[in-house]
Amino acid sequence: MKWRLKLLTLSAILLSTSVLSCEMVMGYRTSARLPFIAEHPSKQGLYFTLYQRALESIGCTLTVRRAPKKRILKLIAEGEIDFYPGLGSSPGREQYLHFIENGFISHIVAISHKDIADIHSFADMEGKVLLTAIGSNVFDTKGYEIHLRQAHDLSVTTAVKLLSEKRADFYFYNEVNIRYYLKLNPNDNIKIHPCCFPSSAMTLGFSKKSKYAQTIPNPASTSSKRSLSKNKQLQLAPSSKALAFKEALAKLKSDGVTAKLVDAYSKQ
């Protein structure tokens, strides 16, 4: 009888541990985006370092899944993957994602071949070819006569190569990433243009169908259609792990940990 009781107790403990376990899955495309993430199969970089630390502080572990970006976003929309580590918002993405500030600063700049004249606005890019990855944000370029050349799993290495060979004219990329890349891989044929975006807080996209993203009615929401996009009808519940993750990231930023991590990677 005693051994049966011990066995039942052990089973209950294991079941309880299983129920309470928290394993979040981060999805990302297979190509690198250093210093944020290395090329598949490696998962190392700023994303993994920061998110692992934030998740450990709330009792969770981090798993990374790599696949083409379009496939990853589909799995996130279905709730099979919990979040994408760095993603800009758009009306389409807002249908299936919560956007959470991760603590990094994003400043998108344009890069081109050195022979391209300085640009100050999208109007200066009319008639030119913008290189983009399939599924990526093309921002507000639709209002201009800018031609798109799209590619699967476009890496910065490939983008720089195509621009150097004048097989495309422009490519939008985060300033931290491109300066880090050019520091390690100097290229006299590449030019950086500060056009065409202000600096902003970088966000991650968290799946609304994730089991960690329970929601409650948002008391700040209104029935006004004009304010519907700003005042969401639902918000993350106080008991949700997604909200705890958001708060952990905010604390790492306020404590200066995030900035120190960026500095550490930049000096490598």
pLDDT for residue 7: 45
Look at the domain 2-106+200-266 and name its fold. Answer: D-Maltodextrin-Binding Protein; domain 2 (3.40.190)
Mean pLDDT for 72-92 is: 96
Q: With contact defined as beta carbons under 8 Å apart, do 211 and 79 qualify? A: yes
CB neighbour class for 85 (10 Å; exposed up to 12, middle 13-18, buried from 19)? buried
First to last CA, the chain: 61
- Percentage of the residues of the chain whose pLDDT score is greater than 90: 67
Residue 11 has pLDDT above 50, yes or no: no
Q: What is the pLDDT of residues 193-245, one digit of tens each?
A: 989 889 999 999 999 999 999 999 988 775 555 544 555 789 999 999 999 99
192 has a pLDDT exceeding 60: yes
> Percentage of the chain surpassing pLDDT 70?
86
The DSSP result for 200-267, as a single string, is EEEEEEEETTSTT--EEE-TT--S-TTTTTTS-SEEE-TT-HHHHHHHHHHHHHHTTHHHHHHHHHHT
Domain locations in the chain as residue ranges: 2-106+200-266, 112-196
At a CB cut-off of 8 Å and minimum separation 6, what does 191 contact? Answer: 111, 112, 113, 114, 116
| Structure-token match 């279905």, residue found | 78
Q: Is there a shared CATH topology between the 2-106+200-266 domain and the 112-196 domain?
A: yes
| Gyration radius of the chain over CA positions | 21
One-letter amino acid for residue 14 of the chain: L
Residue 131: helix, strand or coil by DSSP?
Answer: strand
Instruction: Please state, rounded to an integer, the average pLDDT across all residues of the chain.
Output: 88
Going by pLDDT thresholds of 50, 70 and 90, the confidence category of residue 70 is very high
How buried is residue 103: exposed, middle or buried, by Cβ count under 10 Å (0-12/13-18/19+)? buried
* CATH fold of the domain at 112-196: D-Maltodextrin-Binding Protein; domain 2 (3.40.190)
If one compares 189 and 142, the residue with the highest pLDDT of the two is 189
Of the two residues 1 and 130, the one the predictor is more confident about is 130
Pairing status of strand 200-207 against strand 97-106 = antiparallel
- Per mean pLDDT, which range of 88-102, 155-169, 223-237 is the poorest? 223-237
CA atoms within 13 A on the CB side of 77: 11
Q: How does 21-54 read in b/e, with b if 16+ C-beta sit within 10 Å?
A: eeebbbbbbbbbbbbbbbebeebebbbbbbbbbb
